[in-house]
Amino acid sequence: MRERTPTWTTAAPWIAAAIAVAVLVVDQLTKFLAEASLSTGERIEVLGDLLGLQLAYNPGAAFSIGEGATWIFTILAGVGVVVAAWFAWRTRSRVWAVCLGLLLGGATTHFLDRLLREPSFGQGHVVDFIAYANWFIGNVADIALFAGAVMLVVLMALGIDSRPHADAHADEDDALGDPVVK
């Protein structure tokens, strides 16, 4: 029986952290640019009615649900950051690191928006600027959260372990996990 030695296993949490930081930086930078160049409510068409740029401030969740309960979303985002960080620190799988990094980055940037943006501490509004048809307006963090959530569902459905063991699947490579090193 061959010994399975996962590669990059100890690097996985750092991969998750790097992705989270990248999401945070890109999201905050694009929000800064949107606020500097767009007027609230003004829509600039990018792909006709399908995709556009439109500055909006969202006190609620997706589709502006719960606009009067911003502090609840602040707490939920904070819990999301803690949970994603805990799992990201424990993962030893590169594919799980990508998934958790996307979730951690998106949750962190939304949490910071809720804490630090107007109108007040803990009740800040999230800056949205990517208009999808006339359906909703989002931001880069929303894209990261959606991609991370889809990855999470797929990884769980496929049974990919976030902490692969050296003796698991000794005779085969995990297509999405860490390959056998000979």
For the chain, domain boundaries: 11-158
Which of 172 and 126 is assigned the larger pLDDT?
Answer: 126
Q: Does residue 26 have a pLDDT over 90?
A: yes
Structure tokens at 18: 């790097």
Amino acid 177: pLDDT = 53
pTM of the model: 0.82
Q: Catalytic residues, which ones? A: 128, 142
pLDDT for residue 37 is more than 60: yes
59-99 pLDDT tens trace = 866 655 666 677 788 888 999 999 999 999 999 999 999 99
- Closest C-alpha among 82, 60, 81, 141 to residue 106: 141
Closest CA to 145 of 66, 27, 57: 27
Side-chain half-sphere of 90: how many Cα atoms within 13 Å? 9
Distance in angstroms (rounded) separating the CA atoms of residues 105 and 113: 12
Which carries the bigger pLDDT value, residue 145 or residue 58? 145
